Amino acid sequence: MTYLLALDQGTSSTRSIVFDRLGRIVGLAQRELTQYYPQPGWVEHDPMEIWHTQRDTIKEALQRARVSARDIQALGITNQRETTIVWDRHSGEPVHPAIVWQDRRAEPTCTALREQGLEPMILDRTGLRIDAYFSATKLKWILDHVPGARQGAEAGDLLFGTVDCWLVWQLTRGHRHVTDVSNASRTMLMDVHRNTWDSELLDAFEIPRAMMPEILCSSADFGRTAEALLGHSIAIGGVAGDQQSALFGQACFHPGMAKNTYGTGCFMLMHTGDQFHTSNNGLLTTSAAQTDTNPAYALEGSVFVGGAVVQWLRDGLRAFVHSSDIEALASSVPDSGGVFFVPAFTGLGAPIWDPQARGTITGLTRGSTIAHIARAALESIAYQSAALLLAMSRDAQAAGANPLADLRVDGGACVNDLLMQFQADLLGIPILRPTMVETTALGAALLAGLQTGVYADVSELESLWRVERQFDPALSRDEAAQRLAAWDHAVRQACTR
């Protein structure tokens, strides 16, 4: 038997999954990851906890699969993107907690950059809008605020990496300081046309080039794990940011194919082939996972708070004990009773881009219950995703592409049938849920398998993708349009601009 190992390091948990050659799970282990909120708008992780939970889940997943490291052909890594780590190249010690992608502390830097008129240049070079979401401003904050950090970086003693880079460094015991093109494209420092760090951008953010990792294709030789780690060295053959990895795992290899991942946030990507398209509708252009040096791009829309709204109801309002309980609670009422929940806890992402927006619940009456709020919270995930797809469709139409025929879905919340049906109703196209919903981890495993010869080419991977359930629209287009208009009204009440 041939096995592949995927390391899936996410925002709220760390997982390791062993797949067989047909993309079936034979072993899985998971650990929760501690979230730190030192100030309003700040979100941090402990880099050593990231590594230790990943290391421990690798060993547990192998045990559950009843295989050893010798049985693993290769491993792939997929990770929360934009999250920023800086560490000492000699000791391996982080100089500051990891600043998570949700963190908003660098917004003043973003405001200053916009006032300098740099946004058009940054958008053209990187495909990204100036926002605290991306790594560059987080890295600049660390260099500006951690004592001695800037001096250490300029002396070549400090290294920067997103989570994938940090994990490869740990797995190889410091022998490789590398990242892949999909993660690098989320830093706001890479020229996505040339797949290289941009000197002008590094200068604008005052970041020494010596800190930066080498950029490789997503399916490439990232080194080998240290033999002492698992008793046998494993080739690291694939790396991709979680959303590009999910696009790959969903077999969206061709222009016009799209997927939406329902996780802590929601992330919709549409493959655009080798053409770089700048969005006119508030979306981002990002590098897709690349199996060779040929460019591959995707339009992306990001919802900052997707499944996290369910966690807030569970932990903040104590509306239920388990996150999975929300479906029964929301289904206990026929609709939201006119209640709309805009979960802008950390501002609004695409296509609004209002970092100062805050969460609102509107339409409350004396008849409103926690069930109505739960239903509105669940529906907010679909409404925000619908706004992304509508913006994406307008961009695709302007580029002469065919209308989107369907949407492939994955992530923890896609198992919620009520949510998926409502999503199909709003969009007016079929929602396709695959038999393997762990497509983010699967994408990393497939990239590693391609690099090490387990698979011949991507056409072989297409045959592995199967539909578990299709959700067809059951709502008239007029009623869907009315509901989307009501949602837009609720969003405007949450916005500051």
Could you tell me which of 158, 133, 128, 130 has the C-alpha nearest to residue 143? 158
Burial of 174 (0-12, 13-18, 19+ CB in 10 A): middle
Average pLDDT, the chain: 92
Distance CA 238, CA 244 (A): 12
Model confidence at 322, pLDDT cuts 50, 70, 90, reads confident
Distance CA 325, CA 183 (A): 34
Cα torsion 324, 487, 422, 301 to 10°: value is: -80
Helix H or strand E encompassing 224: none
How many C-beta atoms lie closer than 10 Å to residue 334's C-beta? 7
Distance CA 478, CA 228 (A): 62
Helices (H), 133-279: 135-145, 149-154, 163-171, 181-184, 199-204, 227-230, 242-249
pLDDT at 355 over 70: yes
Measured distance between the N- and C-terminal CA atoms of the chain, rounded to whole angstroms: 57
pLDDT at 59 over 70: yes
Partner residues linked to 215 by β-bridges = 179
Model confidence at 352, pLDDT cuts 50, 70, 90, reads confident
Confirm if 345 and 308 have CB atoms less than 8 A apart: yes
pLDDT at 350 over 80: no
Distance CA 349, CA 274 (A): 25
Each residue's pLDDT tens digit, 130-172: 989 899 999 999 999 999 999 999 999 999 999 999 999 999 9
How many C-beta atoms lie closer than 10 Å to residue 299's C-beta? 26
Least confident of 24-28, 179-183, 308-312: 308-312
Distance CA 428, CA 477 (A): 7
pLDDT at 275: 82
pLDDT at 415: 87
pLDDT at 273: 87
pLDDT at 25: 95
How many C-beta atoms lie closer than 10 Å to residue 295's C-beta? 17
47-65 vs 163-171: helix crossing angle, rounded to 10: 60
Confirm if 369 and 333 have CB atoms less than 8 A apart: yes
Helices (H), 205-302: 227-230, 242-249
Q: Across residues 483-494, what is the average pLDDT? A: 91
pLDDT at 117: 92
Task: Name the more confident of 142 and 324.
Answer: 142
Each residue's pLDDT tens digit, 368-421: 999 999 999 989 999 999 998 888 888 877 766 677 889 999 988 888 898 999
Domain-wise residue ranges, the chain: 3-241
pLDDT at 438: 87
Q: Which CATH architecture has domain 3-241?
A: 2-Layer Sandwich (3.30)
Could you tell me which of 289, 250, 275, 297 has the C-alpha nearest to residue 398? 275
pLDDT at 397: 77
pLDDT at 98: 98
Confirm if 299 and 269 have CB atoms less than 8 A apart: yes
Distance CA 447, CA 65 (A): 21
Sign of CA dihedral 269, 271, 276, 280: negative
What amino acid occupies position 346?
Answer: T
Task: Name the more confident of 446 and 273.
Answer: 446
Each residue's pLDDT tens digit, 198-248: 999 999 999 999 999 999 999 999 999 999 999 999 999 999 999 999 999
Each residue's pLDDT tens digit, 278-307: 888 888 889 999 998 889 999 998 888 888
Helix H or strand E encompassing 362: strand 360-362
Task: Give the Cα-Cα-Cα angle 271, 235, 159 (nearest 5 degrees).
Answer: 75
Tokens of 386: 């619908």
Distance CA 84, CA 376 (A): 33
Confirm if 281 and 395 have CB atoms less than 8 A apart: yes
Name the pairing type of β-strands 190-191 and 98-99: unpaired
Angstrom distances, CA of residue 412 to CA of 184, 420, 432: 26, 12, 15
pLDDT at 497: 67
Could you tell me which of 231, 282, 258 has the C-alpha nearest to residue 407? 258
pLDDT at 41 over 70: yes
